[in-house]
Amino acid sequence: MESCCDVGLILSVVLWCSVLATHHVWPISRTSAQLVPATFCFGDSLADPGNNNYINTLSKANYPFNGIDFAAGPTGRFTNGRTTVDIIGELLGFKYYLPPYMAPSTTGNVIRYGVNYASGAAGILDSSGYAFIGRIPLSQQLDQFAKTSAQISQLLGPEAGSNLIAQSIYSVNLGANDFLDNYYAPFSPIGNLSAGAVNNLLLTTYQQHLTNLYSMGARKIVVASVGPAGCTPYRLTTTQAVNGECDQKVNQQIQAFNTGLEALLDGLNANLPGVQFIYLNAYDTVYEIIQNPNAYGFTISDTACCGTGGTYKGLLPCTPLSSLCTDRTNYVFWDPYHTSDKANVILSNRFFYGDSSYARPMNIQQLALLNL
């Protein structure tokens, strides 16, 4: 989740400390059998493995202190270590983390095990994240997947390629930027709409995108709800929250959107033959950790480990000039918008193994083993 801030300062810091990582397919210490032939990810900065390194954008994370706990360093991930996509890939038994689509090395045999198209500042709507200049919205990510699918067909042959596409898992995780970096941002192109109209626009657009993904052969599709963006250190800072009190106006709109999203997925399951969408309850899962941090081994759930500005260090993103906490394992949030590696481990395990409180109508492990 990104947000508007002093883009001039961010740009100068990024230019000053640019240490662009050369992307490779980073290995995983695999401990289990690979459950599906490939995975493909669509999303925003919560899942971006470095695609934004290759575009003209203010939304980048390829510099310290980002990646401080990732073996390859600052690769462009907006966290100190792994994203939930990385960790779920481990749980699915893959040998390597999903490579970014935009990396020149993501070609040939590499793509047969999956690709990550996620882009920081991206949204369900093309306009979301406009303050960051460059980003790859969901519509363009789907266009990129179409090219990957055609390449897989050429690589494996039409029948084997089609089977791989049908048996793979697809994760889709967007929406936060449509609220924080569009509707609630200055000069928003949708700012004149009511909250209900915005939700309807997002859900209608999302349904079109997900139906398009189905039409391209995807059959096992994981869609995450939008998390409690009103509880991020950024939102606490900009609303001058007292005692870490979440912005309930934002959260209530997101909850209404999530209710509509789950109903949308139920409808797609009922009307599209041979498909299984599952809904990840990211909102309640993250909110539970924020409200009860001690139960999950955290001590601080309202302040960024790496950030700048105000009580919650939530005004500017993590850069080499930011204040860095002394013990990252105590913090739910890595920076003003994104969860830490430790929090991501908890979330990933809930989504992969958990009951219907976290994933429904089944969890990711069950989806991986499902025969469609």
Catalytic amino acids? 45, 335, 338
Whole-Å CA distances, 71 to 35, 80, 101: 25, 10, 20
| Residue 6 DSSP symbol | -
Q: CA–CA distance from 155 to each of 73, 164, 171 (Å)?
A: 32, 11, 23
- Distance between CA 174 and CA 117 in Å, rounded? 12
Q: What is the DSSP letter of 100?
A: B
Encoded tokens for 338: 């994104």
**Interhelix angle 138-156/158-167, nearest 10 degrees:** 140
Query: 303 near 233, Cβ under 8 Å?
Result: yes
Handedness of CA 296, 298, 303, 308 (dihedral sign): negative
The encoded tokens of residue 318 equal: 């993590």
Q: Which residues contact 97 (CB under 8 A, 6 or more apart)?
A: 25, 26, 27, 28, 49, 82, 86, 89
Characterize the bridge pairing of strands 359-360 and 276-280: antiparallel
